[in-house]
Amino acid sequence: MRERTFVMVKPDGVQRGLVGEIVSRFERRGFKVCGMKLMRIQRELAERHYEEHKGKPFYAPLISYVTSGPVVCMVLEGENAVAVVRSMMGKTNPQDAMPGTVRGDLAQVTGRNVIHGSDSSESAKREIGLFFNDYEVHTYDLPYDAWLFE
């Protein structure tokens, strides 16, 4: 089933110049970029985005971190996008992430784990709505779709 998911290259990934490599990994896997933008997240948006973590010990440092520099937000589309993208990202703690995953290859510690991705179809819809207007998310065909999908 084709679906869309939300992905964010966090401030550490942007500052380290990893955006191109991360986008390339998803494109090579066959995901279509339907929306992408570089932005600096304002505190209010960060708090709405991470509202399920409010009250947890890591909440304040997380808000501070994600608002500390520019991020790259993306909407990716593909077969089982939420699950596949999560698998490609690797475990939240990079020390537990498998080699070959974004975090397993590019990150060292949980607090600077390079990337965020939606954890369910519902959160993908919510997060896409938080970061993108309807006119910023595009529908289009790629010439090689027939070679990727049955």
Q: Are 94 and 109 in contact (CB under 8 A)?
A: yes
Cα–Cα distance for residue pair 83/78, rounded to 1 Å: 10
Dihedral of CA 94/64/128/137: which sign?
negative
Catalytic residue among 49, 53, 116, 138: 116
The answer to whether residue 116 is catalytic is yes
Specify the CATH number for 2-138; select among 1.10.1660.10, 1.20.120.140, 3.40.50.80, 3.30.70.141: 3.30.70.141
pTM here is 0.94
Q: Could you state, in order of their start, the residue ranges of all structural domains in the chain? A: 2-138
Q: Return the bridge partners of 7, or none.
A: 74, 117
From first to last of the 150 residues of the chain, give the pLDDT tens digit: 899 999 999 999 999 999 999 999 999 999 999 999 999 999 999 999 999 999 999 999 999 999 999 999 999 999 999 999 999 999 999 999 999 999 999 999 999 999 999 999 999 999 999 999 999 999 999 888 888 888
> pLDDT tens digits for 107-118?
999 999 999 999
Cα–Cα distance for residue pair 146/62, rounded to 1 Å: 41
Q: Are 35 and 137 in contact (CB under 8 A)?
A: yes
Helix (H, G, I), strand (E, B) or coil at 82: helix
Query: 3: which 2 tokens?
Result: 């679906």
